[in-house]
Structure formats: structure tokens, C-alpha cells
């Protein structure tokens, strides 16, 4: 999930290399952004 956010790695590439589905990586990224935006109210504007 951090590789997607920090290194701009595509979820499909990351998922394939780790034996998980692309939608799982996408869900993890969305959940992490949701948690971070709850802690930093202005993050939703980025």
C-alpha cells in the first residue's frame, strides 16, 4: 500500500508480484487514505 502511495507503483503490478488481487491492493489504499484523512482534515483536498 505504501508503494502505491509513495512510489506511484500501479496496484496491478504490486498485486501480481505478491500473489494477491489488484482489487485488494486498491481497497487497502482507499482504506489507508480514509484513515489518514480522518487524522488530517485537509488531506481530502489533496
User: 3-state SS of 1-46?
Assistant: CHHHHHHCCCHHHHHHHHCCCHHHHHHHHHHHHHHHHHHCHHHHHC
- Taking only the tens of pLDDT, the chain with its 46 residues reads 667 777 777 787 778 877 889 898 889 888 888 888 888 877 656 5
Domain ranges of the chain: 2-41
Amino acid at each position: 500500500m505504501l508503494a502505491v502511495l509513495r512510489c506511484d507503483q500501479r496496484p496491478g503490478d504490486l498485486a501480481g508480484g505478491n500473489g494477491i488481487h489488484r482489487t485488494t491492493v486498491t481497497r487497502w489504499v482507499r482504506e489507508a487514505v480514509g484513515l489518514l484523512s480522518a487524522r488530517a482534515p485537509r488531506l481530502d483536498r489533496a
